[in-house]
Structure 1
Amino acid sequence: MPHRILQNRRTFIKTLAGTAAGLAGSGAIGAPLIKNPGLERKLTLNNMHTGEKMTAVYWADGHYMPQVLQEVDHLLRDHRTGTSIQMDRQLFDLLYLLQRDVGLHKEFQVISGYRSPETNEKLRKQGQGVAKKSYHMQGKAIDIRVPGIALRDVQRMALKMKAGGVGFYSRSNFLHVDVGPVRHWG
């Protein structure tokens, strides 16, 4: 059994390195994260606050799928107010790349997707370390965890992508990723 775990870890690290190498140099914010437009892109999401789960192909035949994207936007809504916005499509591509590397059968447990300005301010006043101009309010950020994968491993993978912000929250057991400027904390 220990050999199998070590082998899976090695495979994971090799896959991570390959993805990082493929993304290196994409550089500018707004540049496509995925170079091959022909690839079908699928996400598996589980909203931890609403209990909603979804596995959906959001990109096929070289195009985003509008109806599916609306469903994903709804799943990622502010669970406190029920409001949703159109999430940044590059955030989905970032998640797709992360999910591909941890295994397509793995889901993202969503802690927070979109956050309304009202919710953001309420959380700030509660002293929860929430940024005043959070990327969550712009639909450019998501807080996640992946069952069965160490949070530090997902963090390393996200950092190597250099595709935006990566925040590690060990006490709350989640990882923040966004498609803003490249930076990290935690």
Structure 2
Amino acid sequence: MRLLLAITGASGVQLGFKALELLPPDVTPYLILSDHAETVRRHERAKVFEDSDIAAPVASGSFPIDAMMVAPCSMNTLAKIACGIADNLVTRAAAVAIKERRTLLLAPREMPFSPIALENMLKLSRLGVVIAPPVMGYYAEHDSVEAMERFVVGKWFDMLGIGHDLYQRWRIEEA
């Protein structure tokens, strides 16, 4: 599988990098860092594209990406995607994912959500975009921040069809 991961915004950037770190070896990652995320950290495993490189291969529908994830997804990026504004590589690649009917997962991080953000999320959801904010599942009984991060990333991987064992799944007890 080929996964395009875009990391935008400055708050929650560590979750995007955690997802990159926890990808199984059979997933080939491609990475776009927004200017703000770029200043936070560079990662070696993925091919990194500059957000300003609108001519990068991932901006084309003919480049074979199976899925795209924007984590975290800033409200600015979410709004641009919802309105079809493709003024940088992240938003162009997202527009291509929507156009090509590829899985697109957005992980908006802000709280609370404004009515405008909620309307944008609803619009995108109706187009088939997966809206998956990093929400904890307390039934998993996390005992550390690392366990909470693994849970969130695992839920994202579930929605993208990426196999993993990052958290303990819900089980029905046998009587």
TM-score (norm. length: structure 1): 0.25
TM-score (norm. length: structure 2): 0.26
